[in-house]
Amino acid sequence: MKRFNDLTDFSREEIADLIALAKRLDEHPEPRALEGKILSLLFLSPSLRTLASFQAAMGRLGGDSFVISPSMSIHGIETRPGIVMDGAAAEHIREAVPVIASYGDAIGIRAFAERRSLDEDLADREFENMAQLVDVPLINMESAIQHPCQNLADWKTMDDLGVPSAGGRFVLSWAYHPRALPLAVPSSTVQMAAMRGMDVVVLNPEGFDLPDSIIAKAKTAAESSGGSVTTTRDRKEAMEGAHVLYAKSWSSTAHYGDRIADEALREDLVDWCVDDPWFENAQDNCRFMHCLPVRRGVVVADRVLDGPRSVVLPEARNRMVAQMAVLHRLLSG
Amino acid sequence: MKRFNDLTDFSREEIADLIALAKRLDEHPEPRALEGKILSLLFLSPSLRTLASFQAAMGRLGGDSFVISPSMSIHGIETRPGIVMDGAAAEHIREAVPVIASYGDAIGIRAFAERRSLDEDLADREFENMAQLVDVPLINMESAIQHPCQNLADWKTMDDLGVPSAGGRFVLSWAYHPRALPLAVPSSTVQMAAMRGMDVVVLNPEGFDLPDSIIAKAKTAAESSGGSVTTTRDRKEAMEGAHVLYAKSWSSTAHYGDRIADEALREDLVDWCVDDPWFENAQDNCRFMHCLPVRRGVVVADRVLDGPRSVVLPEARNRMVAQMAVLHRLLSG
Amino acid sequence: MKRFNDLTDFSREEIADLIALAKRLDEHPEPRALEGKILSLLFLSPSLRTLASFQAAMGRLGGDSFVISPSMSIHGIETRPGIVMDGAAAEHIREAVPVIASYGDAIGIRAFAERRSLDEDLADREFENMAQLVDVPLINMESAIQHPCQNLADWKTMDDLGVPSAGGRFVLSWAYHPRALPLAVPSSTVQMAAMRGMDVVVLNPEGFDLPDSIIAKAKTAAESSGGSVTTTRDRKEAMEGAHVLYAKSWSSTAHYGDRIADEALREDLVDWCVDDPWFENAQDNCRFMHCLPVRRGVVVADRVLDGPRSVVLPEARNRMVAQMAVLHRLLSG
């Protein structure tokens, strides 16, 4: 394993192995497994869970890490190719990325979507441009279209809770948020749930359909796992018998990159705040999942988030545990 | 031991044990004592000594730590309960704190006073709200009213220097500073000195009396340790025979939370800058202590700070040493 | 070895030993060599390579480090002696530096030139003021006039590549940059190349001559190593038979500290951008070196930087490797 970028690069068996390794490392610590090993962490956008959980994961395995983020330490990093750098930026990613990578035995990179062109973001252009500059094992810590560490943590969280895979109904629902957010989590989450063999339902208002290529990719994954993928605008229909409601806000795809049009569209959608009535016809113990950070009273009502359905805290802890497995696989032996 | 929050939660014997452990770990390093263990460090206000000394302490014991502070990495953290989060903050402490805690084997939290209500700050409301969200061992890295790591370091510093406990005279003096500073250090320092069995004198100008509950609590501590607690506005009387002058500026308690009134009061108090004449009738080797950072020429004259009385540097180093003991106690075995 | 500040403090044999140690540690890791040891890292100016490579170096040897920089964590640090601190800064270096140093087994300090007075910067006043406050082993992580870690890495890079020392021609050339940059790299690089026994040629436009004392010092070094040091404004002459072109921009020394005059002078010098024609009469495999960060299309053309001459990436990686040797020498055994 040289790259952890897209869950669909792996077979179900490989994922099961990673999750088993994660469980084992959580229960039986290996505090010297990665001694003397270094993880480079490059954050081109802000982070809390990822920042904390990768440092903690590496430390638990006896390794160490360092963090580079523009806000902390750099004069600004230029990403455009072929440019004459006579502006503010003093360094180009063509030097910064390979240099940072060369100090570590592996590198994690976070780079959000530019949200100028849907095609470019679906191709994960910015992340791939940086990935090409790296020759050590690489972890995608969230890019325009991928968030494999979140996906692996979510899969493990459902395993931990006994959420059924075959026959389990997984609803990914759009939720209101005042800002246009990236597609990485919804797009990669449908792949994860489809690969797990679940019946995946994507629920969202008009103008917020996930890109066709994302749905098609998930359908392919579902075919080989025995699951299914459908889309709907009908909340009642979506939630019928649901085992999991996974809430997330994302940008309008109809007006991708057009902030004004996106805002005009979403301003009527403030009722897309997950609340108790959503669960009326779901399974009794239907779980509420969210990758965090989450806006209380906006994306989800306090009573859901603080209630027994919510598994957002074990889900967040599983980020660290899942990443320990990924790091162990990439770096040990 | 699950919580290190208030020195008065511990007996004198327990504190003596901690200090003995600190001394032992300083003299006989245990670089593998905490291998694979992680300390989460959450700073909701700026720091230098605490930030550095906790990371160093953890590393010396073979563990690791990570730092989260809003300025570094987070979009802003909401602390108000029950609020609809449609403003700037993207995350609530109800998620952020337990998540950060879950990545560590222990967590340290720093959260300064809000200085809106004296009662709320005396109840340490903001810190306690966060503490309730944590189920791993918790260290108070300075809150509205507590600074137990500073207190333990100060106690050890006096032990190291042979400052007498029974019969030792400890003067806590207000000092001038252009800004209204929190009550945490003065309030917890009087408890520390009273518990150590010293004759504690609190010296301050009108309008800056420490809260009655703080003085009452210190008197209770003094009763069982054989010390005493008195207050005065008379510098000469206070310093008579003093073994230690501990200087610190703090907010006006008469005008708590009222910045304008506080400033009006303090502008006539620029002569509360500790200088050589203060020590005229003190013990010959009366020590000058301060928790740092300290404003030169404002809180204290250079000649005192750079002179033989000053023990601020060993005092600051003892932060790390004391914290090693606390971490060892919380996390080993 | 208690201080790593100036390459000329060491003999050629000592430097060869350090480079041999660096090579050995790179090829045969010693992940427990510095267990329980702490490196304090104080950055008074921004950094990427130094920030990352020191943390990585320490971690590879089993030690740990912490980073303090004003932007991260401090209210501002006052450096002027004898000042009444009633402004913004809440702490003076006279406390901050020794405290930070006392938490580590060694300290690295970065402090750029103030660029007010050439004499003061040549005397490395700001760095030396801080160095006096430290009683643990000290590493200069770039000061007004020194950058010994860069120098050691550069020396090793040339060794790795088989660049000849005796008879090797090393051209240090000024390059265009929109801002006035410090003298640390050019001034210390000429010493390095002279000590290595190379024929050093300093190439720069009028107004940008390196200070006489720097050239004189390099000539002394060259005398005992069998090398030479010359200066010229003639690019063709400089590059004749060159084995290495080391590019770097620096401040006008004719108008040192005068930003307006410096800008007026450099605005006509945009053609000092290293490009293929520069290498016409150099050795066929003449290398391009630069300490990074480098502005593409400004300091150097993309085709040079991305071409086979460029060794800036191994050069940057050697920062970490060289520093492992320095840390091992300062801290082990």
Give yes or no for A12 touching C (CB within 8 A). Answer: no
Predicted confidence at residue C264, as pLDDT, reads 96
Choose which CATH entry (3.20.20.70, 3.40.50.1370, 3.30.70.600, 3.20.20.80) describes domain A3-146+319-331.
3.40.50.1370
Chains touching A (3+ CB pairs < 8 Å): B, C
Q: Which residues of A touch B86 (CB under 8 A)?
A: 178, 295, 297-298
Rounded to the nearest angstrom, the gap between the alpha carbon of residue B106 and the centroid of all alpha carbons in its chain is 19
10 Å Cβ neighbour count for A291?
A: 23
Q: Are B75 and B89 in contact (CB under 8 A)?
A: yes
Q: Which residues of C touch A95 (CB under 8 A)?
A: 292-294, 305, 312-313, 316
Phi-psi region of C39 (alpha: psi -120 to 50; beta: other; left: phi over 0): beta
Residue A71 has pLDDT above 60, yes or no: yes
In C, minimum Cα distance to A42 occurs at: C52
Chains touching C (3+ CB pairs < 8 Å): A, B
Q: Which residues of C touch A78 (CB under 8 A)?
A: 296
Give yes or no for B103 touching A (CB within 8 A). Answer: yes
- Percent of chain B clearing pLDDT 70 (strictly above): 98
Residue A253 CA to residue A213 CA, distance in Å, equals 12
Residue C104: which H helix or E strand, with range? none
Residue A74 has pLDDT above 80, yes or no: no
Give yes or no for C258 touching B (CB within 8 A). Answer: no
Mean pLDDT on A300-310: 98
In A, minimum Cα distance to B32 occurs at: A31
Mean pLDDT of chain A: 96
Q: For strands C3-4 and C138-140, give the pairing.
A: parallel
Give yes or no for B98 touching A (CB within 8 A). Answer: yes
Residue B141 CA to residue C18 CA, distance in Å, equals 41
Q: Are A7 and A190 in contact (CB under 8 A)?
A: no
CATH code of A150-315, in short, is 3.40.50.1370
ipTM of the complex in this document: 0.96
Residue B303 CA to residue B296 CA, distance in Å, equals 10
From residue B194, give the alpha-carbon distance in Å to each of A145, B8, B52, B170, B312: 60, 10, 29, 9, 20
Residue A72 has pLDDT above 70, yes or no: no
Q: Are B324 and B61 in contact (CB under 8 A)?
A: yes
Render pLDDT for C98-116 as a digit per residue (tens, 0 to 9): 999 999 999 999 998 888 8
Residue B293 has pLDDT above 70, yes or no: yes
Contact assignment for B104 to A72 by CB distance below 8 Å: no
Contact assignment for A90 to C295 by CB distance below 8 Å: yes
Both structure tokens of A286: 């239907």
Residue B75 has pLDDT above 80, yes or no: no
Provide the shortest C-alpha distance from residue B238 to chain C (in Å). Answer: 26
Predicted confidence at residue B76, as pLDDT, reads 75
Predicted confidence at residue C169, as pLDDT, reads 98
Q: Are C227 and C200 in contact (CB under 8 A)?
A: yes
Provide the shortest C-alpha distance from residue B186 to chain A (in Å). Answer: 33
Give yes or no for B160 touching C (CB within 8 A). Answer: no
Question: Could you tell me the maximum CA-CA distance found in chain C, to the nearest angstrom?
Answer: 61
> In which residue are the tokens 């995608």 written?
A140
DSSP letter string, A120-162? HHHTTHHHHHHHTT--S-EEES--SS--HHHHHHHHHHHHHHT
> In which residue are the tokens 């260290």 written?
B139
Mean pLDDT on B281-295: 97
Mean pLDDT of chain B: 96
Q: Which residues of A touch B39 (CB under 8 A)?
A: none
Q: Of C59, C297, C313, which is closest to A99 when you measure between CB atoms?
A: C313
Where are the strands (E) in chain B, listed by range? Answer: 3-4, 38-43, 64-68, 77-78, 91-92, 106-110, 138-140, 169-174, 199-203, 228-232, 244-248, 287-289
Give yes or no for C293 touching A (CB within 8 A). Answer: yes
Predicted confidence at residue A45, as pLDDT, reads 84
Contact assignment for A99 to C64 by CB distance below 8 Å: no
Mean pLDDT on B87-95: 91
Contact assignment for B312 to C95 by CB distance below 8 Å: yes
Residue C323 CA to residue C54 CA, distance in Å, equals 7
Residue C230 CA to residue C258 CA, distance in Å, equals 27
Give yes or no for C296 touching A (CB within 8 A). Answer: yes
Residue C275 CA to residue C242 CA, distance in Å, equals 15
Residue A192 CA to residue A159 CA, distance in Å, equals 13
Q: What is the DSSP code (8-state) at residue C248? A: E
Q: Which residues of A touch B38 (CB under 8 A)?
A: 56, 59-60
Contact assignment for B75 to A46 by CB distance below 8 Å: yes
Give yes or no for C303 touching A (CB within 8 A). Answer: no
Mean pLDDT on B203-210: 98
Mean pLDDT on A197-226: 98
Give yes or no for A49 touching B (CB within 8 A). Answer: yes
Provide the shortest C-alpha distance from residue A198 to chain C (in Å). Answer: 42
Residue B281 CA to residue C122 CA, distance in Å, equals 48
Chains touching B (3+ CB pairs < 8 Å): A, C
In A, minimum Cα distance to B80 occurs at: A296
Q: What is the DSSP code (8-state) at residue A310? A: B
Choose which CATH entry (1.10.645.10, 3.30.565.10, 3.40.50.10490, 3.40.50.1370) describes domain C3-146+316-331.
3.40.50.1370
Mean pLDDT of chain C: 96
Residue A190 CA to residue A146 CA, distance in Å, equals 11
Give yes or no for C316 touching B (CB within 8 A). Answer: no
Three-state secondary-structure class, residue A119? helix
In chain A, where does the domain assigned CATH 3.40.50.1370 lie? 3-146+319-331, 150-315
Paired residues of A108 in beta bridges:
A41, A139
Render pLDDT for C262-318 as a digit per residue (tens, 0 to 9): 999 999 999 999 999 999 999 999 999 999 999 999 999 999 999 999 999 999 999
Distance between terminal CA atoms of chain C? 12
Residue B171 has pLDDT above 60, yes or no: yes
Provide the shortest C-alpha distance from residue C296 to chain A (in Å). Answer: 6
Both structure tokens of B194: 């009273």
Q: What is the DSSP code (8-state) at residue B211? A: P
Q: Which residues of C touch A74 (CB under 8 A)?
A: 46, 48
Contact assignment for B295 to C86 by CB distance below 8 Å: yes
Provide the shortest C-alpha distance from residue C308 to chain A (in Å). Answer: 15
Measured CA angle at B135 (ends B129, B139), to 5 deg: 70
Contact assignment for A60 to B38 by CB distance below 8 Å: yes
Q: What is the b/e burial string over A103-116, where b = at least 16 CB atoms within 10 angstroms of the residue's CB?
A: bbbbbbbbbbbebe
Give yes or no for B36 touching A (CB within 8 A). Answer: yes
Q: Which CATH class is domain B151-311?
A: alpha beta
Q: Of B66, B90, B99, which is closest to A55 when you measure between CB atoms?
A: B66
Mean pLDDT on A88-103: 94
Provide the shortest C-alpha distance from residue C38 to chain B (in Å). Answer: 6
Both structure tokens of A170: 């997984």
Lowest mean pLDDT among A38-42, A119-123, C42-46: C42-46
Cβ neighbours for C264, distance < 8 A, ≥ 6 positions apart: none
Predicted confidence at residue C75, as pLDDT, reads 66
Q: Are B109 and B138 in contact (CB under 8 A)?
A: yes
Give yes or no for C275 touching A (CB within 8 A). Answer: no
Give yes or no for A95 touching C (CB within 8 A). Answer: yes
Contact assignment for B35 to A30 by CB distance below 8 Å: no
DSSP letter string, C126-188? HHHHHHTT--S-EEES--SS--HHHHHHHHHHHHHHT--STT-EEEEEE---SS---SHHHHH
Q: Indicate the pLDDT class of residue A1, thresholds 50, 70 and 90.
A: confident
Predicted confidence at residue C2, as pLDDT, reads 94
Predicted confidence at residue C73, as pLDDT, reads 54
Q: Of A29, A72, A316, which is closest to B72 when you measure between CB atoms?
A: A72
**CA A290, A292, A296, A298 torsion-angle sign:** negative
Q: Are A208 and A176 in contact (CB under 8 A)?
A: no
In chain B, where does the domain assigned CATH 3.40.50.1370 lie? 3-146+316-331, 151-311
Give yes or no for A294 touching C (CB within 8 A). Answer: no
Residue C252 CA to residue C205 CA, distance in Å, equals 9
Rounded to the nearest angstrom, the gap between the alpha carbon of residue C316 and the centroid of all alpha carbons in its chain is 11
Render pLDDT for A37-57 as a digit per residue (tens, 0 to 9): 999 999 988 889 999 999 999
In C, minimum Cα distance to B61 occurs at: C36
Contact assignment for C298 to A86 by CB distance below 8 Å: yes
Render pLDDT for C62-90 as a digit per residue (tens, 0 to 9): 999 999 987 665 667 888 889 999 988 88
Which of A73, A105, A133 has the most C C-beta neighbours within 10 Å, making it the best mutation to test the interface with C? A73
Q: Indicate the pLDDT class of residue B114, thresholds 50, 70 and 90.
A: confident
